[in-house]
Homo-oligomer: A and B are copies of this chain.
């Protein structure tokens, strides 16, 4: 047995998300970072490799070089983490799979749905695993919410309100930052706010409820003057019919001009028996409200909790876990898939609980339909997850 060996593409230039991925990957001591192509500037990439205490010959000037040279090593990396700007995700993932590396990728998976469908084909032909870092599903209480709903605690789900408010793009000078610039660049993608955070909210909704979004009515806005992509938006949701012929409804709010809201993702789910409430800023609490009795404040570390919740917790009650631990759950569970394959260990529930290529497809279809729906004066638009959108 050994640690799973990881390489990284991107994450070089003071990018917050690269450092986050590295902490998340290594937090549980199951994965070690062994190599990286952190920047297209070979000097920069090398410098970062040194800061990270990598072997000098494993800081590469390009991902192409990395994949080629690592493929030839005895102690080659097992998996690669892709944390570059969105547009390059597709070609990097393709090449990684071609060389037999498992891929974990920041969302969105590609630039458009066509690319993801190609990627899925390639994956099906390969032995590679694919993970998408929908971080928020890594929180233990999100898993608890899913478990409680799956066992029927809420009854039939009727309504979902999911909100994701950020404020960091509230002013035009925010665009000077590198992080802002590529997100708001129409050459890099068709959406900023929906692609960046709206899709997280949609994924969280489907993960917790087990329902699929089938139709949307969308109103995207470019609030800050001069922007071409959305920095704010609201999407009305219709979910696929349940077995009783009932369509649950929902509302998804996302904004990057919500000054002061930091990174405020929350979800409320209303069933015919009870409702459930979770907020990322207080992630260790889950509230269930009933029509006729006291609300239940469920806390990490206080039994009883679902098996999968417990398997994603590290500390006892009252020792707050946060964003990095949620992120680490995505990584350690993904690495567990690899470990189970390499060492022929029986498949675990944990290892299966990782967002993958199908979530990537659903997310991209969501983004594309929302953008189209927002431009239309027709109210409702079906999401076609098959890729045959024309």
Contacts and interface: CB of A to CB of B under 8 A. Distances in A.
B53 A1 contact: yes
Interface string A291-331: 11111111101111000000000111111111111000000
A282 interface: yes
Interface stretch (A90-98, A119-127, A342-350, A377-385): A377-385
Interface stretch (A15-23, A206-214, A355-363): A15-23
A14 interface: no
A293 B296 CA distance: 9
Contact of A161 (B50, B167, B253, B275): B253
Contacts of A317: 168, 262-263
A370 interface: no
Nearest to A320: B322
Given A23-B29, A29-B22, A323-B320, A2 B314 contact: no
A317 to B, nearest CB: 4
B232 A258 contact: no
A147 interface: no
A274 B319 CA distance: 20
A293 B282 contact: no
A162 to B, nearest CB: 11
B282 A261 contact: no
B290 A260 contact: yes
Interface string A40-68: 00000000001011000000000000000
Interface stretch (A74-82, A99-107, A184-192, A216-224): A216-224
Interface in A229-257: 232, 234, 236, 246, 249, 251, 253, 255, 257
B16 A27 contact: no
Contacts of A322: 315, 319-322, 324-325
A270 B263 contact: no
Interface residues of A, number: 92
Given A23-B29, A258-B275, A271-B259, A318 B264 contact: yes
Contact of A295 (B296, B318, B380): B296
Given A251-B253, A299-B262, A321-B324, A167 B291 contact: yes
A22 B356 CA distance: 30
Contacts of A263: 316-319
Contacts of A236: 219, 234, 236
A376 interface: yes
Contacts of A53: 1-3, 29
A293 B303 contact: yes
A177 to B, nearest CB: 11
Contacts of A335: none
A270 to B, nearest CB: 5
Interface string A265-293: 00010111111000011110001111111
Interface in A147-193: 158-159, 161, 163, 165-168, 170-171
A340 interface: no
Contacts of A315: 16, 20, 322-324
A249 B232 contact: yes
A21 to B, nearest CB: 12
A341 interface: no
Interface of A: 1-3, 16, 19-20, 22-23, 26-29, 33, 50, 52-53, 158-159, 161, 163, 165-168, 170-171, 217, 219, 221, 223, 225, 232, 234, 236, 246, 249, 251, 253, 255, 257-264, 268, 270-275, 280-283, 287-299, 301-304, 314-325, 376-380
10 contacts: A23-B314, A158-B223, A217-B217, A232-B249, A236-B236, A251-B251, A259-B289, A261-B268, A294-B297, A321-B322
